[in-house]
Amino acid sequence: MHGISRRQFTTQMCTLSGTLLGSKILGATAFAEQALPSSGALLSRMKWLNEPASANISGDRIVVRSRRKTDFWRKTFYGYVTDNGHFFHLPVSGDFDFEARVDGQYAALYDQAGLMVRIDAQNWVKCGTEFFDNARHASVVFTREFSDWSTMNDLATTGPVWWRVVRKPDSLETLCSIDGKNFTSVRMGYLVPSAAAEVGIMCAAPEGEGFQCIFDNLKLTMHGK
């Protein structure tokens, strides 16, 4: 790692892992990778936590309209707990990558759409595009009883952005991409080790009347030694 930053090293490794398929060698350790069903097949296996105003699946994409006054947040700064955002998910055990292309008609304060990994109501991570200060931002919230929040400028002012989550035994990394090929690491944090997590797509409209968002190109890859 001499001569490069930790962020550069992580980004290079995540780009490499997203490119390699099948059984690969990373250093001296062999990892078997198993790509699970296609985007459309994944959607058919998922279910809602908090159903949205509408959701329509066509082939490998889903168009969702969120309900008003919805969010996922716990306590920090605002003092309240809100757990009524929309989460379309399936259970996954072990280490994995999950990604999707996300777009939305973001207009009201805190309109948001992206990915979520959830152990339970007190332990979860969400990441995606969120609208505030009249602009789109790449947003990540890690929650372990109390939520925190980090943001940066979104990769695009209009149109879709790919998001990816990478789970390891006690951590989760969030990454985003403008082309679905070259991913930038946004944040890594602690996630409670568990035999299984719920993984999927999420959206919410904390302040607005609800908005439309589109998810496609879902991909789930399992990792095992």
CATH number at residue 157: 2.60.120.200
pLDDT at residue number 203: 98
Q: Does residue 143 lie in a domain region?
A: yes
Say if CB 86 and CB 50 are below 8 A apart.
yes
pLDDT at residue number 224: 75
Map the chain to HEC letters: CCCCCHHHHHHHHHHHHHHCCCCEEECCEEEEEEECCCHHHHHHCCEEECCCCEEEEECCEEEEECCCCCCEEECCCCCCEEECCEEEEEEEECEEEEEEEEEECCCCCCCEEEEEEEEECCEEEEEEEEEECCEEEEEEEEEECEECCEEEECCCCCCCEEEEEEEECCEEEEEEECCCCCCEEEEEEECCCCCEEEEEEEEECCCCCCCEEEEEEEEEEEEEC
pLDDT at residue number 26: 32
Q: Does residue 40 lie in a domain region?
A: yes
Based on the structure, what is the number of domains in the chain?
1
Q: Does residue 136 lie in a domain region?
A: yes
Say if CB 94 and CB 220 are below 8 A apart.
no
pLDDT at residue number 202: 98
Q: Does residue 179 lie in a domain region?
A: yes
Q: Does residue 1 lie in a domain region?
A: no
**Average pLDDT by stretches of 10, the chain with 225 residues:** 42 42 34 68 97 97 98 95 98 97 98 98 98 98 97 97 97 98 97 93 98 98 83
Domain that holds residue 19: 6-224
CA distance 46 to 38: 13
Q: Does residue 46 lie in a domain region?
A: yes
Q: How many CA atoms lie within 13 A of 53 on its CB side?
A: 14
Q: Does residue 88 lie in a domain region?
A: yes
pLDDT at residue number 15: 43
pTM of the predicted structure, to 2 decimals:
0.84
Dihedral sign, Cα of residue 192, residue 165, residue 211, residue 141:
positive
pLDDT at residue number 194: 86
Say if CB 10 and CB 194 are below 8 A apart.
no
